[in-house]
Structure 1
Amino acid sequence: MPEGHTLHRLARLHQRRFARAPVMVSSPQGRFVDGAAAVNGRVFKKATAWGKHLFHHYEGGRVVHVHLGLYGTFTELPLPMPLPVGQVRMRMIGTEYGTDLRGPTVCEVLAEPEIGDVIGRLGPDPLRRDADPSLAWARIRKSRRPIGALLMDQSVIAGVGNVYRSELLYRHHIDPHRPGVRVEEDEFDAMWTDLVALMAIGLRRGKIHTIRREDDHGPPSYAPGRPRTYVYRRAGEPCRVCGTEIRTEVMEGRNLFWCPAEQT
């Protein structure tokens, strides 16, 4: 599932390519016909993101809300666009570019005030200037759920996925099984500051970079073209710092990775 920096990159891209001009919106697949008709031909005012949620704001107070989920993707193409291929939920055509959306978990039209209902269910987003980390800390400090689960809870912090969760806890030597009530405030403050910086790098570069320069060596990444990680998708391999075997398990439905020696 794309993490928060991906949605912020999409918001910036769509802002640059579609804003301040009418956009033709259709649903070749047929599952978004009414929604597409509600915004088709309207001026695209701006694009915003909060966590893993993308919002396209159109004139008249209508907003297309997209959550990519596990399988959703945008395919960006210059004009003229070819005929749709596959299950295209939404096609947007601007003045110079178009984009096809396939496989999202959510693609719906909201009235502008309804965005607040979506955002109200989310925690602070580290990539937003108005983020208030105290809201996340208030949830964590009272919870007996493991910190590894809390970081993935979008109502606690919006935008954190499995990669950032695993790597952040490693970088701060925190066992993902430690209950939230046993995380110290200074530990949380350090993690939040680091998370803001790491996600800003992801936003800028388009890839998640978590390895410190002095540790960027040894076995290659878990997949071609991806930066090295400390623990993510490295189960059974030696820790890049201490050599201990990286472990994995399923925590609340998601694969967790950690080093039992470095994370206590």
Structure 2
Amino acid sequence: MPEGHSVHRIAKQFAVNFVGHRVAVSSPQGRFADDAKRIDGHTMIAAKAVGKQMFLEFDNELWLRIHLGIYGAWDFAGDISIDPTIASANGRMGQTNQRGTANQTGTVLDEAGENSLHSIGAPRRTRLRMSESEKVEADIDVFPPEPIGQVRVRLLTDTAVADLRGPTACEVLDPAEVDAVIAKLGPDPQVDDGPEAEEAFVAKVRKKPTSIALLLMDQSVVSGIGNVYRAELLFRARQNPHTPGKLVPEDTVRELWRDWVHLLRIGVETGQMMTMDDLDEESYRRAMAKREDRHWVYKREGLPCRVCGTHIVMEELGGRKLYWCPKDQK
């Protein structure tokens, strides 16, 4: 399932390539046809993410709400421009499509395509898949391309198209309904990383008997954290994942929030869930290129802890896999 950094990056794609444009909305699959008519032909005026949910606003006071869930993904095609707030200081991303190497700006491209948005250039007619990972699939010769597979909704402008497949949620809402959805979500550092957001997170965690590992995945407690960030945050705090929230020291709870602010910012900027700090240049390049060199404990079950050498444990908790070090997080 895409974690918070991915959804924020997708929202930025819409902000750059769709906001301010009249959008033709259709449902090639047919399942979204009635709702598509409600926003078809209107101008998109805003795109934002809160945690794992994205909201696209149109000029008729209606919003398209998307929750990708486990299987959802967006395909972008056309003259796609990189979000300038993600681009490097020289304002242009490299044109190379080679994986596992640095592009012209020094960004290291992930060999599995996790941050391949950086290889697009600005702009270039191409097709781009965005879900938990980002992958440039191919250049295109005809625009718009024909829909591929079961496309729930297609958003089309004169220059760009976005096709959505397999979402958990896809619906048109009015402003009050949007507010009601957002009100149920915990704080998101990309929306608000101020003291009030931190206090809201601390207060919720400190009153719960639920384990801290489950609380970090509860979107009503904090928005955007998924399996990868959950495991890494807890290891970085040296926190036992089974400790009830109300028994976790307040300083540790605050540390978890501030570290989430830090890691989410890195994820949005780079497209990768980089959770290791203070790496030398070679180690950093290796980690950015290969995700197994990027994490402390995630998917490292049976391997020695990078700090103490104890074998990392994997267990099922709340229907999801939890990775942790039984010595450093005891």
TM-score interval (norm. to shorter): over 0.9
Are the structure 2 counterparts of residues 40 and 130 from structure 1 closer, same or farther at C-alpha, using a change threshold of 3 Å?
Answer: farther
Contact 1:208 1:227 in 2 (8 A): no
Alignment deviations for residues 183-205 of structure 1 (CA, whole Å, 9 cap, x no partner): 11111111111110100000000
1:109 aligns with 172
Alignment partner, residue 189 of structure 2: 126
Partner of 2:91: none
Q: For residue 272 of structure 2, what is the amino acid of its counterpart? A: K
Shift of 1:98: 0.7
Report if the CA contact (8 A) 1:75-1:99 is conserved.
yes
SS of 1:261's partner is coil
* SS of structure 2 residue aligned to 1:213: coil
Q: Would the aligned equivalents of 2:305 and 2:325 in 1 still touch at CA under 8 Å?
A: yes
For residues 45 and 128 of structure 1, what CA distance do their matches in structure 2 show?
18
What letter is aligned with 1:229? Answer: H
User: How far does residue 92 in structure 1 lie from its aligned partner after superposition?
Assistant: 0.8
**Which protein, 1 or 2, shows the higher relative CO under an 8 Å CA cutoff with sep ≥ 6?**
2
Which 10-residue stretch deviates more, 135-144 or 100-109?
135-144
The alpha carbon displacement at 1:182 in A equals: 1.0
The aligned counterpart of 1:28 is 28
Change (3 A) 1:74 1:112: same
Q: Which amino acid aligns with 2:264?
A: M
Gaps of 5+ in 2: 80-142
Aligned to 2:297: 231
SS at match of 1:125: coil
Tell me what 2:269 maps to.
204
- Does the residue aligned with 1:7 lie in a helix, a strand or coil? helix
CA distance in 2, matches of 1:130, 1:192: 9
Partner of residue 213, structure 2: 148
Are 2:278 and 1:213 aligned? yes
What is the SS of the residue equivalent to 1:34? helix
C-alpha contact (below 8 Å) 2:5/2:267 kept by paired residues? yes
* Map of 1:172 onto structure 2: 237
Q: Percent identity?
A: 44
TM-score if structure 2 supplies the norm length?
0.76
Q: Which residue of 2 aligns with 1:8?
A: 8
Instruction: Give the Cα separation in 1 of the matches to 2:173 and 2:324.
Output: 40
Compute the displacement of 1:129 (Å): 2.7
Equivalent residue, structure 2, for 1:61: 61
- Distance in 2 of aligned mates of 1:57 and 1:68: 17
SS in 1 for 2:322: strand
SS of corresponding position for 2:152:
strand
Equivalent of 1:182, from 225, 228, 247? 247
Aligned-residue RMSD, C-alpha = 1.8
1:73 aligns with 2:73: yes
Once the two structures are TM-superposed, the CA of residue 226 in structure 1 deviates from its matched residue by: 6.0
Partners of 1:15 and 1:3 in 2: how far apart?
19
> Is contact 1:207-1:227 (8 Å) kept?
no
Q: What one-letter code is carried by the residue in structure 1 that aligns with 2:48?
A: T
Q: TM-score, normalised by structure 1?
A: 0.94
Q: In the alignment, is the contact (CA less than 8 A) between 2:74 and 2:162 conserved in 1?
A: yes
SS at match of 2:41: coil
SS at 1:54 equivalent: strand
- Cα displacement (A) at 1:214: 4.3
Aligned to 1:263: 329
Contact (CA 8 Å) 1:25, 1:92: kept in 2 or not?
Answer: yes
C-alpha distance in structure 2 between counterparts of 1:56 and 1:244, whole Å: 46
Amino acid at match of 2:295: T
Distance (Å, rounded) in 1 between the aligned partners of 2:175 and 2:183: 14
